[in-house]
Amino acid sequence: MRFAEHLRFTGSALKKWLIAQTQDSLAVGLLWLIGLLVLRIPLAPLWALLATLLQFIPHFGPVLGVIGPVLTAAIKFGDWEHPLYVLMLYAVVVVVDGLALQPYIMHRTAKVPIWASILAPLILGILIPSFWGVLLAPPLLAVFYAYKRRNAQTE
């Protein structure tokens, strides 16, 4: 395989990963929108859009996305219950996304096994002890499994 073919092949795998990441972000944004509307949080569509965009930043993005709705709930309702409900919604969205949505979408779109998309960020987060290990895990997985499928087909 020539270098140009490697670039094309890797680019195709990364494109599939980006599509999967976009679908995951949209799904998370929809979950946020529904939850925030049920909780009657002001500016729910804005917070859901922000959560959608911040979903592209692993681990830090979702945390940043919850700050606005929590503060809005605290200011609007003036109690501790509504911000707590928003934090509970955040916990549900994170668990559903991390254990179901993201692995399923990565498997369907980028053909990455579900177990690998759950374990790889954890393992790379330990091997590369910083933000970069977790950030690089999903696209590296997409490229790795694309090459693995290609090699299995040529044998």
Is 1 part of a structural domain of the chain? no
**pLDDT of 49 over the 80 cut:** yes
Helix axes 131-154, 114-127, angle to 10 degrees: 130
Structural domain containing residue 76: 13-154
Region for 13 from its dihedrals, namely left if φ exceeds 0, alpha if ψ lies in -120 to 50, beta otherwise: alpha
Q: What is the pLDDT of residues 8-26, one digit of tens each?
A: 889 998 999 899 999 999 9
Is 80 part of a structural domain of the chain? yes
Number of domains into which the chain is organized: 1
Instruction: Evaluate whether 66 touches 90 at the Cβ level (below 8 Å).
Output: yes
pTM here? 0.83
Q: How far is Cα 52 from Cα 144, in angstroms, rounded to an integer?
A: 27
Is 48 part of a structural domain of the chain? yes
Is 6 part of a structural domain of the chain? no
**pLDDT of 119 over the 90 cut:** no
pLDDT of residue 126: 86
Mean pLDDT value of segment 107-129: 84
Instruction: Evaluate whether 141 touches 120 at the Cβ level (below 8 Å).
Output: yes
Q: How far is Cα 92 from Cα 101, in angstroms, rounded to an integer?
A: 12
Both tokens assigned to 28: 């998370």
**pLDDT of 58 over the 80 cut:** no
Is 2 part of a structural domain of the chain? no
